[in-house]
Amino acid sequence: MTLKNRAYNFNAGPSALPLEVLEKAQQELVDFQNSGMSIMEMSHRSATFEEVHNGAIARLRKIYSIPENYEVLFLQGGASLQFTMIPMNFLQEGQTASYIQTGAWSEKAFKEAKFFGTPVEAASTKENNYKNIPTEFSFSADDAYVHLTSNNTIFGTQWKTFPETGEVPLIADMSSDILSKPVDVSNFGIIYAGAQKNLGPSGVTVVIIRKDLLEKANKNIPTMLKYTTHADNNSLYNTPPTFGIYMLGEVLKWVENEGGLAAIEARNEVKAKLIYDVIDNSNGFYTGHATPESRSLMNITFRVADEELEKQFLAEATAAGFIGLSGHRSVGGCRASTYNAVPVETCQALAEFMIEFQSSNQ
């Protein structure tokens, strides 16, 4: 397989994985390290799997320089279960937590918190159809935590710098931009992410959690929904998603080989610019959904001049081999997800296609 045979994959999630990682997994699939079996067929308590598991944790720690006072957990249930686990563990009845509303995923997180305590909207850009990240928000020193979504997958906006929340733990859903740029983990109480955008296949959820929070967590909740259960057992309390964790480990090795997060970020900037430049130079033929200062490097949302042309654009793009360019059903329009594993060449091809489409339809 070469890049030539690979689809121009702009899927929003699950999404593109690095070709090198897929090929290594293919090579190792039937006989993992001369064990006579695949990684999926071996015990999660075996020394071989433990090495894979601990290796992935250690790599993530190294890539992000995660301080010692944080645990790295591999859970299941996706980012969506984190919407529930966070308030279940950390929000008491009658207590408040501030939620910064920047899109559909933030709204879902907010909704779950209502089952446990009193989530408060700290800011919302809903009136603006979530075109931007708010510049101001309020929170209280009594809040259990402040929650935000670092990248809004559906609307195509992204936080560029993160707010300071002092003693109140900041919790971030980084599902769609984890591993896309360097982040100072010590600013956060919890970072969580479903794997299927930048980390690997769906099925594993990464949680980076500060240890002092574990001590404060609600003890009177079911075993599997307690962070302490997973922290106390190195995420091996029950059978973990072994293949997903193996793949995550391989994606982390790939990130290291590519030069780490700073190099990945530089490439993501180049990729996004290729497409945003076409939008900005189109004299209004293409319009971006996000305001320029809030634009995401991961999900580029845009519309084509009119609805008929937009349909034609999407149909012709599909025929030309571009996958996943329809916007989310709740927003419409077009969206190009340019996650880490989407090559520069693929973004270049889309930029050229967009320019050509404009010149033949104006």
Ligand X SMILES: *Cc1c(COP(=O)(O)O)cnc(C)c1O
φ/ψ (deg, to 5) at 247: -65, -40
Q: Contact between 11 and ligand X (CB under 6 A)?
A: no
Which residue in the list 159, 173, 254, 271 is annotated as catalytic? 173
| Longest CA span, the chain | 64
Query: Quick one: tokens of 26?
Result: 């293919």
268 binds ligand X (CB under 6 A): no
Question: Residue 330 and residue 71: Cα distance in Å, rounded?
Answer: 35
Q: Which of residues 103-142 bind ligand X (CB under 6 A)?
A: 105
Is residue 254 annotated as a catalytic residue, yes or no? Answer: no
CB of 151 to ligand X, least distance (A): 6
**242 is a contact residue toward ligand X (CB under 6 A):** no
State which of residues 38, 76, 80, 95 lies at the interface with ligand X (CB under 6 A): 80
By CB under 6 A, residue 333 contacts ligand X = no
The closest alpha carbon to 174, from 144, 195, 202, belongs to 195
Active site residue 173: yes
Least separation in angstroms between residue 173's CB and ligand X is 5
Catalytic residue among 181, 197, 226, 253: 197
Could you list the beta-strand ranges (E) of the chain. Answer: 8-9, 70-75, 96-101, 118-124, 146-149, 151-152, 157-158, 170-173, 190-194, 205-210, 286-288, 299-304, 322-323, 334-337
Edge-to-edge strand list for the sheet holding 334-337: 286-288, 299-304, 334-337
Catalytic annotation present for 253: no
- According to the binding rule CB under 6 A, does residue 89 interact with ligand X? no
Q: Does 176 bind ligand X (CB under 6 A)?
A: yes
Window 142-161: residues binding ligand X (CB under 6 A): 149, 153
Residue from 5, 12, 172 nearest 83 by CA: 172
Which position among 9, 15, 25, 78 is part of the footprint of ligand X (CB under 6 A)? 78
> What residues line the site for ligand X (CB under 6 A)?
13, 78-80, 105, 149, 153, 173, 175-176, 194
Enzyme catalytic residues: 105, 173, 197
